Amino acid sequence: MRCRDAATCVTHLQEGGLSALRAFRVRRHLAQCPECRAYAAQLEVTAGATRWLASEPLDPAHEAEAMSTFRAWQKRRADLPHEQAAGTLGSSGHGRVIATIALASFAGVALAQHRAPLGPSWILALVLTLLACALVPWTRTRGFVVVALAITAAAVPVVLAQQRALTWLFYMPCVVHELATAGIALAALWTWHKDRVSRSPSTAAGIAALGALAGDASLHVACESSSSLAHLLVFHVGGVALAAAAGAVIAVRFFAPRRALS
């Protein structure tokens, strides 16, 4: 369910005018979307205030002023793009983050000292980059699901890998590369989007995982050990998981609301 659909159903949900299935879908969306939850809470407060005011006589001048203010607010909201009015990331915002992730993947290949010959490795790198870009919009409402998908996508090449010995220090640059591309993706998100959803742990984890997946995509072309089973599991798949965890921790550490000490 989209934010627009949920917003139109919130009032009916509070009044008990929805079917059981529709009410379940709206509640599920509210559980996943902080912005829509805030909107629903505002409606509930407004409805409570309206019921209280209904018991008191209202001065005609005050009523006219209140209606004028409401109509002006309604007109300003109608003039906004839907994504901005509903509190969701607009298509232009998606495009900026997607472009950053794609460029990070491309830069990983362009700056590499080693490149695999044209063939399956390049196709795999392209597919993983496109998948990372395609999943960006889903980070708003299903960030941790995106993390799981990114880790799964990074693990798919394992079926083609060969068993080889693992040398820890030699392969650490792969993890550093994935963490760097994850950091670039998060920087793009938090530079252009400063709303609460963009700074939530789930969204941050999802964007970081997709940034790391783009870095992993370039490593399939640039890494000489990308066919090693142990290397893929520890440094490529592990790098995506580590990036997602780091993104969530950073969001909690720097953007989570602080409670006042009593």
All domains of the chain, ordered by start, with CATH?
Answer: 3-86 (1.10.10), 91-255 (no CATH)
**Cα separation, 204 vs 144, whole angstroms:** 9
CA distances to 47, 124, 153 from 119, rounded to whole Å, are 62, 9, 19
Q: Which amino acid is at 26?
A: V
Vertex 132: Cα angle to 209 and 241 (nearest 5): 20
**Cα separation, 125 vs 225, whole angstroms:** 15
**Cα separation, 24 vs 142, whole angstroms:** 17
Residue 26's pLDDT band (cuts 50, 70, 90): confident
**Cα separation, 131 vs 105, whole angstroms:** 12
- Taking a C-beta distance cutoff of 8 angstroms, is the pair 121, 221 a contact? yes
Residues 150-168 as b/e (b if ≥16 CB within 10 A, e otherwise) read bbebbeebeeebeeeeeee
Range of lowest pLDDT (20-29, 85-94, 152-161): 85-94
Range of lowest pLDDT (31-40, 80-89, 173-182): 80-89
**Cα separation, 15 vs 111, whole angstroms:** 59
The residue length of the chain stands at 262
| Residues paired with residue 162 on neighbouring β-strands, in sequence order | 228
More confidently predicted of 231 and 214:
214
Residue 214's pLDDT band (cuts 50, 70, 90): very high
Q: Shortest CA distance to 230 belongs to which of 136, 162, 173?
A: 162
Q: Is residue 146 over pLDDT 80?
A: yes
The predicted pLDDT at position 82 comes to 45
Neighbours of 88 (CB within 10 A): 22
pTM as predicted: 0.63
Vertex 50: Cα angle to 49 and 51 (nearest 5): 90
